[in-house]
Amino acid sequence: MRGWTKSLVAAGVREPGLRADYDRQRASVRRFRRTAYLAARLLLPRPLLPHVVAATALMHHGDNLLDTGPLPQREAAWATWERQVRDALRTGTSDSPLLRTLVHTASAHPRLGPLVETYLATATAELRFTGFATEADYQAYVDAYSYPAFMLVAGLLAPEGDDLPYRAACRTFIEGSQRLDFVNDLAEDLREGRVGIPAEAMARSGVTMGDLRAGTGGAPLSDLIADQIAVAQAALSAASTLPALACPDGRRLAGALVQIELLTAEAVLTRGTAILHGSTNPPLPKTLRVLTRRY
């Protein structure tokens, strides 16, 4: 029996149609988050893996709906999806393979349902995101969108009982991770007419949107990147408590996520102003060493 099939059995996914639904989510996650899937595959116990895959697929699908197309199209698509998610959780049924996996995972992990409700209630912050004037605006965005979205997955790794310290560590982690993503994705975000670096931080470094659009910036842009990555690294380092706070089954994966994000930060610093021409990833050998050590 293949490893994935054993994981489905261990997770209580026995009906052939539901297995096919989980198979589809696994294929989706492997396509868009190959390193994250590999980490989960290696570091999670079998009963937990399919549920983390389903939650990750839900998060990714929501991201796509909120980010793709003109605003009226995105608003309509999200309103339809939000209604479908709520209906699926209320009735326990759905025509959507993704939502059928959500229903099963939420039945196995009841804490997921309230996390989905929190995410749905605030996710529209992403619909109208056009950038941030201040650091306070960035922090509000993390609270409204990044953190609830991350908790769809991280909630499955939460400890039993008092999870407030764990949630606080998750908030610290995603604050650093989201800031890192906004720097790493500068080229893509510029094509969409928005950037995630606060305007006040750009002004401090002497960088303008015109500089970014022109693909220039020189020393000021280098300073801006170094400044934002340093702040991100500080948050990620502060989140090093995350593995110890997670449930025992989630500690290896939580530790790997923190280390891989720190490696990504180093890779962005190495790429420097060339980040305007495309994002980067940490060197594969270093990533594999992290996973091997955790395994």
Contact 104, 89 (CB under 8 A): no
The residue segments making up the domain with residue 109 are 1-128
With tokens 């996914």, the residue in question is 13
pLDDT at 216: 80
User: For the domain that residue 170 is a member of, what is the CATH number?
Assistant: 1.10.600.10
Of 72, 106, 128, the last residue of a domain is 128
- Domain end among 67, 93, 128: 128
Residues 138 and 79 in one domain: no
Are 64 and 139 contained in the same domain? Answer: no
- Based on the fold, state whether residues 278 and 203 are members of the same structural domain: yes
**Which pLDDT score is estimated for 33?**
82
Last residue of a domain, one of 128, 157, 179: 128
Q: Are 137 and 121 found together in one domain? A: no
Instruction: Tell me, yes or no, whether 151 and 118 share the same domain.
Output: no
Instruction: Give the position of tokens 């890779």.
Output: 267
Residue 156 has a pLDDT of 97
Helices 71-91 + 97-108 axis angle, to 10:
50
Residue 36 pLDDT: 87
Q: Which residues in the chain come in under a pLDDT of 50?
A: none
What is residue 95's predicted lDDT score, i.e. its pLDDT? 96
Residue 200 and residue 95 share a domain: no
- Total domains in the fold of the chain: 2
Query: What pLDDT, on the 0 to 100 scale, is given for residue 217?
Result: 76
227 and 140 co-located in one domain: yes
Question: Can you give the pLDDT at residue 1?
Answer: 54
Tokens of 21: 């639904």
Spatial distance between the Cα atoms of 108 and 11, rounded to a whole number of angstroms: 8
Q: Are residues 34 and 148 in the same domain?
A: no
Same domain, 136 and 8: no
Amino acid at 231: V
Structural contact between residues 275 and 184, judged by C-beta atoms closer than 8 angstroms? yes
Q: What is the pLDDT of residue 215?
A: 84
pLDDT for position 192: 86
Q: Are residues 120 and 146 in the same domain?
A: no
Global confidence as pTM: 0.94
State both tokens at 238.
């502060």
One domain, residues 37 and 93: yes
If we measure between CA atoms, which residue out of 290, 264, 66 comes closest to residue 184? Answer: 264
Same domain, 136 and 214: yes
Query: What does the pLDDT read at residue 32?
Result: 86
